[in-house]
Amino acid sequence: MSTYSQLSIGRYYLITENEGEELVLVQPMMETTGAVFLILHDAEEEVTYWRKKEDAIFEILEELSDEEALNYELLFDEDEADEDWEEDDL
């Protein structure tokens, strides 16, 4: 079984934390000696949380490539630009 210690800082991963749960997109942002700080990218919000490095991950489906990560980030940059444009119209 995989653990959070296997995730590289700043990369995006599609993982299943526990058997039977849905696939989630996480991004490790920093680490300490015994823990990892992550961002969970949800459809509606970003959630931050800590996990122990030795905590199990049921499955690491894949690490997003640089191109896939950029495409993901651009999806939200466009949304933010649209929101700014709509606010300017008010």
Query: What is the pTM assigned to this prediction?
Result: 0.82
User: Does any domain span residue 75?
Assistant: no
Average predicted confidence (pLDDT) for the chain: 88
pLDDT of residue 45: 85
Q: Which structural domain, as residue segments, surrounds residue 39?
A: 2-64
| 90 within some domain | no
Inside any domain, residue 70: no
The CA distances from residue 70 to 15, 27, 65, 75, in Å, are 18, 13, 9, 9
Residue 73 inside a domain? The answer is no
Residue 14 lies in a domain: yes
72 lies in a domain?
no
Total domain count for the chain? 1
Q: Which residues pair with 39 in a beta bridge?
A: 27, 48
Contacts of 9 (CB under 8 A, 6+ apart): 28, 29, 30, 31
Question: 80 exposed, middle or buried (CB, 10 Å; 0-12, 13-18, 19+)?
Answer: exposed
Tell me, yes or no, whether 32 lies in a domain. Answer: yes
Tens-digit pLDDT profile for residues 37-74? 999 998 778 899 999 999 999 999 999 999 999 998 88
In angstroms, the CA 53 to CA 56 distance is 8
Is 34 a domain residue? yes
State the pLDDT at residue 73.
86
Per-residue model confidence (pLDDT) at position 88: 54
